[in-house]
């Protein structure tokens, strides 16, 4: 019998100690393969252009090309490659910009190894990950920004069926398909289908981008002053 599918993980961080710790974490997992490492965004681009990389663990604050610019380029050039943004700061502007650039996840560097490992598997499966401790701050960050994009909100409503629109609002809660299914009294398989339709129709990579879109357009979110 063949073993589990190997997830090829690259590590990009300008701190040698952090790179070493992440590499050890990757190499300790039977279903992970270490795909290389780099010290900045230029190295990240070289890695994904020269070999197959499924997930990049990407520092955001780096010299030459930072993690945000590298993330935007990678997600544009390599749609199948997922990026998890790592930062020391609890949802500073860099982290939010990385999510908008196409990162499928955001975690703090002090996250436990198990959390990072789970995040790699989750984004590789096509889902998004935001550290639970920072979800509230993400919402506040978006709510404090410019007025919602009403035109985009109307476009979203017109693109989705009523059930798909309800599913988008549920995705924005951050809950899993199972939790959403229980709340809407539908099967998990049905919710998974609806989620796939929402992402495809709106041109979104994953659930993280769906959350950002829902809040930026004002479809969901705290009351604005």
Q: What is the pTM of this model?
A: 0.74
Assess if CATH 3.40.50.2300 describes domain 7-141. Answer: yes
Residue limits of CATH 3.40.50.2300 in the chain: 7-141
Residue 83: predicted pLDDT = 94
Cα angle for residues 222, 192, 216 (degrees, 5° grid):
25
Q: Give percent of the chain with pLDDT exceeding 70.
A: 85
The CATH number of 146-216 is 1.10.10.10
pLDDT at 1: 45
The pLDDT of residue 145 is: 63
Lowest mean pLDDT among 132-141, 145-154, 174-183: 132-141
Q: Tell me, what's the pLDDT at 205?
A: 79
Among 146, 202, 151, which residue's Cα sits nearest to residue 172? 202
Neighbours of 13 (CB within 10 A): 27
Tokens describing residue 49? 């252009």
Per-residue CA distances from 225 to 85, 144, 145, 203 (Å): 31, 9, 11, 30
**In the chain, which segments carry CATH 1.10.10.10?**
146-216
Nearest to 124 by CA among 6, 1, 24, 3: 6
pLDDT of residue 214: 87
The pair of three-digit structure tokens given for residue 172, joined into one six-digit string: 């924005």
Look at residues 62, 70, 147 and name the one whose alpha carbon lies nearest to residue 101. Answer: 70
105-108 and 129-130: which strand pairing? parallel
The sheet with strand 105-108 has its strands ordered as 32-38, 7-12, 55-59, 82-87, 105-108, 129-130
């Amino acid at each position: 019998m063949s073993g589990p599918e190997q997830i090829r993980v690259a590590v990009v961080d300008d701190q040698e100690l952090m790179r070493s710790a992440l590499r050890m974490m990757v190499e300790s997992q039977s279903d992970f393969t270490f795909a290389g490492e780099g010290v900045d965004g230029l190295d990240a681009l070289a890695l994904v252009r020269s070999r197959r990389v499924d997930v990049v663990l990407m520092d955001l604050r780096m010299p030459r090309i930072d993690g945000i610019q590298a993330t935007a380029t990678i997600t544009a050039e390599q749609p199948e490659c997922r990026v998890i943004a790592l930062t020391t700061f609890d949802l500073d502007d860099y982290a939010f910009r990385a999510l908008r650039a196409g990162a499928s996840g955001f975690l703090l560097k002090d996250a436990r190894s198990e959390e990072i490992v789970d995040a790699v598997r989750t984004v590789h499966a096509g889902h998004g990950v935001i550290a639970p401790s920072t979800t509230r701050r993400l919402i506040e960050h978006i709510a404090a920004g410019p007025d919602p994009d009403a035109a985009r909100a109307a476009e979203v409503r017109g693109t989705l069926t009523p059930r798909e629109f309800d599913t988008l609002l549920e995705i924005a809660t951050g809950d899993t398909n199972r939790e959403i299914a229980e709340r809407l009294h539908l099967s998990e398989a049905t919710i998974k289908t609806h989620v796939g339709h929402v992402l495809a129709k709106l041109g979104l990579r994953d659930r993280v981008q769906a959350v950002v879109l829902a809040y930026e357009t004002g479809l969901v979110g705290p009351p604005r002053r």
